[in-house]
Structure 1
Amino acid sequence: MRILLLLPFIGLLWVPFYNHELPTLFGFPFFYWYQFAWVPLTSLLIWIVYRHEKSKGEE
């Protein structure tokens, strides 16, 4: 489960993957909204891992 915490790191580490202007979302270039989308997604992943660890009795 802890491997999920690597997803944001990997998703944002390789800048050439998301260094594009198109597609835009509400007028924001892909470069900006892709990074911004990772903020709630990372929070969700941390919460999922936390709940899983808590259910196993490890905090």
Structure 2
Amino acid sequence: MRARDHSPWNWLLFAPIVVPLVPALFNADSPRLFGWPRFYWLQLAFILLGVATTTLVYQRTKKRGER
């Protein structure tokens, strides 16, 4: 049986997919963070964005009473 979760919160899961695809974010070397160019620390920030949005969507869409 297929899951039928049509929560609007699920649309938020597109953010960690679409945001890293914007080339304008990577089009510079500065600012540097702890000596790292923008490209490298943005990759780590995108990982955190993905974890945060996945956690938020999970918390908002989980069924109460289930474990």
Give the helix-richer structure, 1 or 2: 1
Instruction: Answer with 1 or 2: which has the greater Rg.
Output: 2
- Matching of residue 25 in structure 1 with residue 33 in structure 2: yes
Aligned mates of 1:30, 1:3 — CA distance in 2: 27
Aligned residue in 2 for 1:6: 14
- Matching of residue 48 in structure 1 with residue 56 in structure 2: yes
Q: Which runs of 5+ in 2 are unaligned?
A: 1-8
- Structure 2-normalised TM-score? 0.71
Q: CA deviation at 1:56?
A: 6.4
- Structure 1-normalised TM-score? 0.79
Render the CA deviation track for 1:1-46: whole Å, top value 9, x for unaligned.
1111111111111234323211100000011111111112211110
- CA change 1:40–1:30 in 2 (3 A) is same
- CA change 1:17–1:40 in 2 (3 A) is closer
Counting aligned pairs with the same residue, the percent is: 35
The count of corresponding residues between Structure 1 and Structure 2 is 57
Aligned mates of 1:22, 1:5 — CA distance in 2: 28
RMSD between aligned alpha carbons? 1.8
Runs of 4+ in 1 over 4 A off after TM superposition: none
